[in-house]
């Protein structure tokens, strides 16, 4: 089955700096890769996703890149702000299937 590894487990950055979180997956049939953000005490919410037919997707200060050959994908947050502090989860899923497999999560702290 699919296995998703996520690094680092914790990340501290200074406000205004960039943050990068990396994930690798094992199932070459996976083709959908969402990222979820979970603020303290709240539910995880989708912030960006990418399908395997594209290599990069951007939405304002966040971007996701995908390298299908190497089976890894990354979340990039630029100009970090204190409200970016949260736990971020990557995940992977096959085209037809219900099962979304999550990474272990990254605690991002943005210091002001």
Q: With CB under 8 A as the contact rule, which of the stretches 11-19, 41-49, 57-65, 72-80 interacts with other proteins?
A: 41-49
Instruction: Name the residue with tokens 């709240």.
Output: 42
9 contacts other proteins (rule: CB under 8 A)? yes
Residue of 89, 76, 93 lying closest to 33 (CA atoms): 93
Q: Residue 23: CA atoms inside 13 Å, Cβ hemisphere, count?
A: 29
Residue 103 contacts other proteins per CB under 8 A:
yes
| Contact (CB, 8 A) for 112 and 82 | yes
Interface with other proteins by CB under 8 A: which range of 11-19, 44-52, 59-67, 71-79? Answer: 44-52
d(CA 109, CA 112): 10
Binding track, positions 46-85, relative to other proteins; x by CB under 8 A? x--x-x----------------------------------
């Amino acid at each position: 089955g699919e296995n998703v590894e996520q690094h680092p487990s914790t990340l501290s950055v200074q406000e205004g700096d960039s943050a990068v979180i990396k994930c690798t997956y094992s199932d070459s049939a996976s083709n959908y890769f969402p990222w979820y953000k979970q603020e303290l005490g709240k539910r995880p919410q989708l912030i960006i996703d990418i399908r395997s037919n594209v290599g990069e997707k951007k939405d304002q200060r966040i971007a996701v890149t995908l390298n299908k050959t190497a089976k890894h994908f990354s979340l990039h947050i630029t100009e970090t702000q204190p409200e970016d502090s949260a736990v971020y989860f990557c995940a992977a899923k096959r085209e037809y299937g219900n099962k979304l497999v999550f990474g272990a999560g990254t605690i991002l702290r943005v210091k002001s």
